[in-house]
Amino acid sequence: MKKKVFILLMVFTIGINGLCGQEQDILVISQHNFKVYRRVVDSVFYIISEHKKKKLYDSLVYVSIVCNDFVQILDSKGNVSFLDSELKEIDISNVVCSAIPCMPTSSNQYYIEEEEGEFRVFAKYIDDGNAKYKDDPQPVVVTVISKEKADDVYFLNSRRSLTTYDCPSGAYVSPVFIIEKNKKFIIQDLYNLTARPIRFYDTVFIDRSSKIRVKKDGFYGYHGVTVIKYSRLDIFEYNLAYFELQNGKRGYIDRSGNEYFIK
């Protein structure tokens, strides 16, 4: 009798753990209809449906929320999928992401003027804690680039004017500009003009999320995110970008530059 009770207790315990995640595993995402756990023993992810009371996805390499309501997953075989709130696979190309309303706490305006022999970068209403600019309603020259060092200068939007907003939602466009010289490119941040070393890139591509993909000496990287080492590096599809290395290894990077290798 005691043996039967013990067996039933084990079955019950396993069932509870299957629904709630193992005690030692880490809860990383908690939504109304599901929870995502990371297994401590091997760092893979699994998803438990609150509605169906069972584990629907296991052995995932990567899981994240996209468009506020959907889930992007990557399995160990390299398959990227998107799920709705009911954990059903969807075609994300047919989904229109709802934007988070932006209520700006400040508005910073930048523009570039081309004068004889130089490009002048102006800023207005800079709110970066610098008293020199903060309360000055007049445009201020932030930096000057000699035409001996530049054929063209423009912002990430490929224009010579840019407005940035600081929003509680986190929406923000970085005040970065591109210096082009002899078909080579320098990326310069207005908030870090003294950054070294200055590097010339062979190509610069700005994707829809304002991530800057660069190429130098035949290899690719994302400026400020990864080193330049990839023989192939695609644009981001929401939170993941596919890559290949010269040694044949391949996988995906996330927006922080973390690598997820696949077979």
Is the pLDDT score of 127 beyond 70?
Answer: no
**What are the structural domains of the chain?**
2-94 (2.40.10), 99-200 (no CATH), 204-263 (no CATH)
State yes or no: pLDDT of 3 exceeds 50. no
pLDDT in tens, 130-183: 444 455 567 889 899 999 999 999 988 889 998 876 554 444 556 789 999 999
Q: Average the pLDDT over each of 69-78, 199-208, 250-259 and give the range with the smallest value.
A: 199-208
> Does residue 122 have a pLDDT over 60?
yes
Q: What percent of the chain has pLDDT over 70?
A: 77
Residues ≥6 apart with Cβ < 8 Å to 81: 72, 73, 75, 89
Q: Is the confidence at residue 27, as pLDDT, over 70?
A: yes
- Position 260 scores a pLDDT of 94
* pLDDT per position as a tens digit, 63-91: 999 888 899 999 988 999 999 988 999 99
**Is the sign of the CA dihedral 245, 248, 252, 256 positive or negative?**
negative
Mean pLDDT score of the chain: 81
| Closest residue by Cα to residue 121 from 130, 132, 108, 135 | 108
Q: What is the pLDDT of residues 238-251, one digit of tens each?
A: 999 999 999 999 99
Task: Assign 26 a pLDDT band (cuts: 50, 70, 90).
Answer: very high
